[in-house]
Amino acid sequence: MVTAFLIHGAYGNPAENWFPWLMEKLKERGLKLYAPSFPTPKGQTLESWQEAFKTYEGKLDDKTILVGHSIGATFALRLIQDSKKPIKAAFLVSGFVTPANDPKSQFTEINKTFYEKPFDWERIKANCMSFYVINSDNDPYVTPSHAEEISKHLGVKVIIIEGAGHFNKSSGYATFPQLLDMIDDDISSRL
């Protein structure tokens, strides 16, 4: 059975944006689902998120997919890097490994621990069978260049979705059918 982890972003939670819709669709497909809640914005650090994820670490295996949004995608890369077992796939939506655009300076400070240490890209690639780097052409925080940086390290192409903003509810993303299609395709191609 395929297990999916949905990892929210800064100032977020598992009940926002397209997460509830995606959880419902993946449940219909028989996937086992986890959508942990991480401390944010108060107490948000890489270490506090790793601590919150400890109870799930043993559930990562070759039938696991990670879906991360914003800093959740960056955290997914850390999970893959540190995993004892390789996982099936990672869907990285608006992820970044350098500071995002932050005009109001509300995100940089709470996000920096997630990317300030270098990533072990070779280990990350060895620990995951497939990567999907998804970005919008008009994301106000995470530009296509952020996605290009991740894709270059992973050796995959960026999937650009036009006009999707930051893939949040204020950008019109209460559902995300393109992502569901990618997950369906990945699962069916590797059964």
Half-sphere CA count of 113, side-chain side, radius 13 A: 10
* Predicted pLDDT at 104: 74
Query: What whole-number distance in Å separates Cα of residue 57 and Cα of residue 135?
Result: 27
Pair of tokens at residue 68: 């991360």
> Tens of pLDDT along 10-51?
999 999 999 999 999 999 999 999 999 999 999 999 999 999
pTM recorded for the entire structure: 0.97
> Tens of pLDDT along 68-91?
999 999 999 999 999 999 999 999
Q: Cα–Cα–Cα angle for 135, 143, 161, nearest 5°? A: 25
Residue 190: band (very low, low, confident or very high) from pLDDT cuts 50, 70, 90: low
Distances in Å between the alpha carbon of 70 and those of 84, 105, 121, 126, 135? Answer: 24, 16, 19, 23, 10
* Predicted pLDDT at 181: 98
Peptide bond into 36 cis (omega under 30): no
* Structural domains present in the chain: 13-32+40-63+85-189 (3.40.50.1820)
Would you tell me the crossing angle of helices 71-82 and 108-115 to the nearest 10 degrees?
20
Query: What whole-number distance in Å separates Cα of residue 113 and Cα of residue 16?
Result: 24
Arithmetic mean of pLDDT, 148-168: 98
Query: What whole-number distance in Å separates Cα of residue 38 and Cα of residue 47?
Result: 11
Pair of tokens at residue 32: 């086992």
Query: What whole-number distance in Å separates Cα of residue 165 and Cα of residue 128?
Result: 27
Query: What whole-number distance in Å separates Cα of residue 110 and Cα of residue 70?
Result: 13
> Tens of pLDDT along 90-130?
999 999 999 999 877 789 999 999 999 999 999 999 999 99
Pair of tokens at residue 17: 């944006």
> Tens of pLDDT along 46-60?
999 999 999 999 999
- Is residue 67 within 8 Å of residue 93, measured between CB atoms? yes
Query: What whole-number distance in Å separates Cα of residue 42 and Cα of residue 70?
Result: 17
